[in-house]
Structure 1
Amino acid sequence: EKALIKDKRAELVIHNLSIYRQPHKKIKALAFCATKSHAQYMNRKFNELGYSSLCLLGESTDKERKEACEKLQSDREDLQIICSVDIFGEGVDIPGITHILLLRPTQSFSLFLQQIGRGLRKTEDKEIVYILDFVGNFKNSYVAPLALKGLYSLEEMKFKKETLSNLTFSPPPKCFINIHAKVKQIWKQELSRILLPTNKKELLLHYYKEFRCQLDPKDSLQMMDFFANPVAPHPQIFIQGTGFSNWLRAKKYFKERLEKEMPDMVHLSDYEESLLDTPGEAFLTHIEKELHPTKSYKMAVLRCLLKYPLSETSWNIHHLAKDFLSFYLQNPSLIQDWDGLAKFPDPKNLPLSKVKEKLKRYPLFYLSNKQDSFFLLDKKENLFWLKEEIHPYWQNPEFRTLVIDRVHYCLAKYCQKKGFILLKF
């Protein structure tokens, strides 16, 4: 914030605003600032130097926001600039915007695109919109060059095998991008630093930061957060072949690396940290190994078990069979994943004996057939139960939430891959 609230920096912004404008046309600008104090400071400087400006913040009323937008849009009103932090993101509609002033650094691709998108609405008398980026040389500011190339993440750049030497931009017709040579050099240096690391963990740290900055800083990042974002990396890249044995260990590493840089952001909750080096951590790791299942059966079983009361640690297979079948009937597109059910004339009337046979032969067997498995199976007695060492964790609501997150993610990702629709988890 101290680096942004400087008179010379403010004067630079205003100088460029006076250069990049259409003669005899009213300036209608949105200035995206870093903090409340920064927005208030820029508002004051704009007014001091001859521009009509006001500041809208989170506490501004709906009436104040509506009136400000109408004044900015109108050619009969004096208002030229609105300074804000994050209230003018997605959903704001001021078609006449002539300038977008990017005064805050961001590592969020979606936020960057939302900000510049506020100025891209067309109107009959609108010939141009100026997007002035004053933080292009900020440390870690790789978002702008990648977004301008049509990319949505660092991971996508590596996937498409884009090279640093090809840092060129091809904007649509009638769009122009003017980048200062020094800024372009800084962009290349920054991208080189993060895309060509000697340690793979360093690259994963940047993937994590890039995605983490888009979410609530008070919440620990969970796997379903990745699924909810179409451009998010796959959690598997953080926990397989990286030196991190599981998602908790990855987050612990990120927490230690980012404590000074992001002191107010929760990376690993206190409860998650308490699970390290316990059977609870081992159980979560076991589930995470199923991130690329060949069938939905095991995750469907776990989903059924998670619906039962916290106190239950053993289950009658007859009862489990009813719920297992019900899960597939509630998700019709998943029926084709189970050949016996898909071929049966009336799936909802499939005999429970066949469901029990399926359970014992496949998911229950493979969840319990190894020495280090966490479940036990007695086919003769029709019982399936959890090993005693896991009971205190399984019966803890916080732990149950972590298990649900992993099972839900695995099922949702599997359905997405296969083209199934998960209607009900």
Structure 2
Amino acid sequence: MSKLELITTNLIDTIERLAEEASEIYILTSFVMRSGVKKLLPALQKAANRGTDIHIGTGDYLHITQPDALQLFVDKLPEANVRMWQSGGRSFHPKAYLFRMNDEGCVIVGSSNMSASALTGGIEWNVSADDSELFETALAEFEAIFYHEHTIPVNMETVKKYRERYAEFHRRQSVAAQWTEAEEESMMLEGPSDQAELIVEMNEPYTYKLIPRPAQEEALAALYATMDEQYERALVVMATGLGKTYLTAFFAERFKRVLFIAHREEILEQAKNSFLHVHRDRTAGILNGTYKEKDADMIFASVFTLNSTHHLHSFQPDDFDLIVVDEFHHAASKSYEKIRHYFTPKFFLGITATPDRMDNKDVYSICDGNVAYRIHFLEAIQKQWLAPFHYYGVYDDTDYSSVTWLGTRYDEEELLAVQMRTEMANKILQAWLKHKQTRTIGFCSSIKQADFLSRHFNEKGYKTVALHSQTTSMTRPAAIKALDKGQLDIIFTVDLFNEGVDIPSVDTILFVRPTESLTVFTQQIGRGLRIADGKTHCVMIDLIGNYRNADVKMSVFDTDPTQKKKGAIPAVPENCLIDFELKAVELLTEMSRKRNPRKEQIRFAYEDLKLELGRRPTYLEFHLKANADSKAIKDVHNSYPGFLYNIGELNEQEAVAFRNHENWFTEVEKTGMNKSYKMVVLKYMLERGADHWTKPVKPIEIAPFFHDYLTSKEYRKRINFSDKQGKKLWQYDEKAVAKLIADMPMTMWSGSSNGLVMFDGELFKVDVNIEEREKEIIFEWTKEICKYRLHWHFERKAKNLEKLND
């Protein structure tokens, strides 16, 4: 039986006692005050020094959280993972303190936020429960909020942004909300939480044996070829509806024990059922906040549960022969990083339907640059593996320019103010009536918008339901079944159908939200493309307004984003249709005319990434993690330092250094590179440090480094030394390598660099005059560009080889 204790005063004493023993600490409070952080810091710092995992979540509701409190975490507790829920005006009021001690767990839930009065002498009621089962349940709820897309990391940059919003909010109030430490009191914020994850799935027993579909057969052949080439990691990019999960189940036949990792609970349940259908003689278990089935042959784990050191270390690093990461575009996030670095499987497989964001992630560090199989949804449509579509762009005259952008999304309350109008609802209804077929999913921005539109449509005589985490009138399986049977016209939802849930009979998709994420947009399109009896095509109805990404969203219909397109509307397969209202076309054209979409997109992506990292991103970090094509940096700004200069990110000293050496940065950025040799030579020179990197060097000096770099990784050797002459250099021959260096990168670069790089047949040097005060700046930027160009070169070449092998 659980040990329960009512704590009505000095909660700080209990927290300090538990923190001394805890291996993991999780705190979730609606707001944090400087006084409360100061009270808790000593105990949390001691715990952090012992290696305790610390996660702290708070919110910005009513801007009660103090920027100075967040700054204390950044400055004094850098080991902790701190995130803040962006409420958008919606109530947010949890107060929970969770502690794991070995195999035991303690949960404290009550009225105490993180302020001095709430933790010490205030009138507060909190209940402490020593209950491991309750702890795991609470932890699952914590993780659902903590890693939700509405949360942002707390770091130097996000605190600075929040401080500005905090000051502006309180400036507008009639009474400024400022508290001294003596005046602070805990505040109870009313209103139901809507963030609980609704996890329901219809499980039906399988009565027939599956065989791979054509797309799965192609992908399996590619994966087996990859294994024959001694690769241990691979990525498969398959459009939604082609059966990625069953593909991994078929592939798992060659492996004894399997770990399948996903970030959504319903994906785990679906994957478990799919694998059991293929492997009826194996056992399967779920590892999440509710179930801890760790002894099965096939384990389907929530990334958030597995990310806990307690659960992660309950396995040996080599316990699994195959590890599969579903929706791989999430895999470069911090929540996956610890897991990836801990396990050593025989094979690591990533699967995703949305390569757009993946192209900007660190493919090489995760999958050794090996994209085993890739098929875009347009190609699948051409092969008749997915249903064709008719896409209708409907003009939306709503002015989104005045709605506040919060970094990753629009402010919800401000967005609702323009969305929840009868005039707007009627416009959506008319567009739907004009183009709809039989079964519709409507994707909304928020729960309130979904409820509003559902009520409006119902009042007009149509059968709809708003399906989300707060829905009580109908269960999710019942709604899915009713839509499938034609008993419902529309399911309005927010994000329940983005990943992992399909209704093949859906033949109409209604977009009534600004497109904030191209990845999510791609996933939502996929909800209507599954083939079903009697379904000829999918209708997509999209309201096009002057919101962010409106003029770049069409890129999801692009199979080759490197090719320049004429006009705003892309070409699609013959059996598909894209039809925009004239005003919508004019809007997109005007948006493109007024601004450079690529220029603005990389600026937005840079600002978002800077907030995520808490500092200025390096060039390679921008390429790997920003939601934009890094190639635009060179095309628009000539170099990464040039980009930073043009957007005002450089201090005075950096700006002077850039202006003095702009030509050098452009040269390093733009010099031709059919092979990687120039940058390998430059990398060697940079290895000598800021004081010596420009000093002359002989080809023979570089030869050992040059050969080792290009042969130490299989993909580098395969890409650079694949021709007849190159294969001769697989075995090190100092003179032959030195001759190659002299003949190719040194001579060629010297002849094309306008005197910035010189080679006289014996000595190679960078001829750039650098003042002492600029030395470190020029060195670091040159190193950033060199590192980026090497990575980009091998990534691009690997993709070209992949196309040749298709």
Same fold (TM over 0.5): yes
Offset of 1:207 from its aligned partner? 3.2
Offset of 1:132 from its aligned partner? 2.1
Q: For 2:667 and 2:551, how far apart are their aligned partners in 1?
A: 36
Equivalent residue of 1:100, what SS? strand
| Partner residue, 1:6 | 421
1:99–1:129 contact (8 Å) kept in structure 2: yes
2:645–2:655 contact (8 Å) kept in structure 1: no
| Partner residue, 2:717 | 332
Structure with bigger strand share is: 2
Closer/same/farther in 2, CA of residues 55 and 374 from structure 1, 3 Å limit: farther
Residues 1:206 and 2:614 aligned together: no
Q: For 1:68 and 1:221, how far apart are their aligned partners in 2?
A: 47
Residues 1:286 and 2:667 aligned together: yes
Q: Which of 178, 191, 205 is equivalent to 2:589?
A: 191
Closer/same/farther in 2, CA of residues 154 and 311 from structure 1, 3 Å limit: closer
| Partner residue, 1:265 | none
Offset of 1:122 from its aligned partner? 1.8
Offset of 1:420 from its aligned partner? 9.3
Equivalent residue of 2:635, what SS? helix
1:30–1:101 contact (8 Å) kept in structure 2: yes
The AA in structure 2 aligned to 1:405 is Y
| Partner residue, 2:441 | 29
Residues 1:356 and 2:709 aligned together: no
Closer/same/farther in 2, CA of residues 121 and 14 from structure 1, 3 Å limit: same
Residue ranges of structure 2 left out of the alignment (5+ in a row): 1-414, 459-463, 611-616
| Partner residue, 1:408 | 791
Equivalent residue of 1:217, what SS? helix
1:375–1:386 contact (8 Å) kept in structure 2: no
Offset of 1:383 from its aligned partner? 9.3
- Give CA deviations for 1:370-407 in whole Å, capped at 9, x if unaligned: 78537899948x999996546413664x7643441134
The AA in structure 2 aligned to 1:393 is I
- Give CA deviations for 1:91-112 in whole Å, capped at 9, x if unaligned: 6533243432211234876654
| Partner residue, 1:218 | 609
Residues 1:131 and 2:546 aligned together: no
Offset of 1:248 from its aligned partner? 4.0
Equivalent residue of 2:418, what SS? coil
Aligned length: 360
Residues 1:41 and 2:453 aligned together: no
Closer/same/farther in 2, CA of residues 13 and 384 from structure 1, 3 Å limit: closer
2:447–2:493 contact (8 Å) kept in structure 1: yes
Equivalent residue of 1:104, what SS? coil
| Partner residue, 1:300 | 680
| Partner residue, 2:655 | 276
| Partner residue, 2:265 | none
Equivalent residue of 1:349, what SS? coil
| Partner residue, 2:466 | 53
- Give CA deviations for 1:228-280 in whole Å, capped at 9, x if unaligned: 99x959548724xxxx5544435655x4xxxxxxxxxxxx7x45996434156
| Partner residue, 2:481 | 74
Q: For 2:476 and 2:761, how far apart are their aligned partners in 1?
A: 68
Q: For 2:547 and 2:418, how far apart are their aligned partners in 1?
A: 10
| Partner residue, 2:635 | 238
Q: Which of 561, 565, 579 is equivalent to 1:157?
A: 565
Q: For 1:169 and 1:326, how far apart are their aligned partners in 2?
A: 46
2:686–2:779 contact (8 Å) kept in structure 1: no
Closer/same/farther in 2, CA of residues 297 and 137 from structure 1, 3 Å limit: closer
The AA in structure 2 aligned to 1:81 is I
The AA in structure 1 aligned to 2:527 is R
Worse overlay, 12-21 or 95-104: 12-21
Q: Root-mean-square deviation (CA), in Å?
A: 5.2
Q: For 2:527 and 2:604, how far apart are their aligned partners in 1?
A: 20
The AA in structure 1 aligned to 2:529 is L
| Partner residue, 1:99 | 508
Offset of 1:287 from its aligned partner? 0.6
1:321–1:359 contact (8 Å) kept in structure 2: yes
Residues 1:249 and 2:249 aligned together: no
Offset of 1:45 from its aligned partner? 0.8
| Partner residue, 1:259 | none
Q: For 1:113 and 1:31, how far apart are their aligned partners in 2?
A: 12
The AA in structure 2 aligned to 1:349 is Q
Closer/same/farther in 2, CA of residues 140 and 82 from structure 1, 3 Å limit: closer
Equivalent residue of 1:157, what SS? coil
- Give CA deviations for 1:194-219 in whole Å, capped at 9, x if unaligned: 3xx5xxxx67x123346777888224
Closer/same/farther in 2, CA of residues 136 and 316 from structure 1, 3 Å limit: closer
The AA in structure 2 aligned to 1:285 is T
Q: For 2:691 and 2:620, how far apart are their aligned partners in 1?
A: 25
Q: For 1:351 and 1:276, how far apart are their aligned partners in 2?
A: 45
| Partner residue, 1:392 | 776
The AA in structure 2 aligned to 1:29 is I
Equivalent residue of 1:101, what SS? strand
Closer/same/farther in 2, CA of residues 74 and 298 from structure 1, 3 Å limit: same
Q: For 2:755 and 2:651, how far apart are their aligned partners in 1?
A: 22
Equivalent residue of 2:540, what SS? strand
| Partner residue, 1:262 | none
1:99–1:119 contact (8 Å) kept in structure 2: yes
**Following superposition of structure 1 onto structure 2, how do residues 305-324 of structure 1 map, counting pairs within 5 Å?**
305=685, 313=693, 320-324=702-706
2:669–2:785 contact (8 Å) kept in structure 1: no
Q: For 2:765 and 2:554, how far apart are their aligned partners in 1?
A: 58
Q: For 2:522 and 2:424, how far apart are their aligned partners in 1?
A: 24
Q: For 1:225 and 1:352, how far apart are their aligned partners in 2?
A: 37
Offset of 1:414 from its aligned partner? 6.2
Residues 1:83 and 2:493 aligned together: yes
Closer/same/farther in 2, CA of residues 394 and 137 from structure 1, 3 Å limit: closer
Offset of 1:324 from its aligned partner? 0.4
Equivalent residue of 1:132, what SS? strand
Offset of 1:42 from its aligned partner? 1.2
- Give CA deviations for 1:316-368 in whole Å, capped at 9, x if unaligned: 755531120123334233444787544x4xx3434313323443455346667
The AA in structure 2 aligned to 1:322 is P
1:145–1:187 contact (8 Å) kept in structure 2: no
- Give CA deviations for 1:65-96 in whole Å, capped at 9, x if unaligned: xx9753442228979524226x6446653324
Normalising by structure 2, we get a TM-score of 0.36
Q: For 2:465 and 2:769, how far apart are their aligned partners in 1?
A: 69
Closer/same/farther in 2, CA of residues 84 and 281 from structure 1, 3 Å limit: farther
Q: Which of 508, 529, 546 is equivalent to 1:120?
A: 529
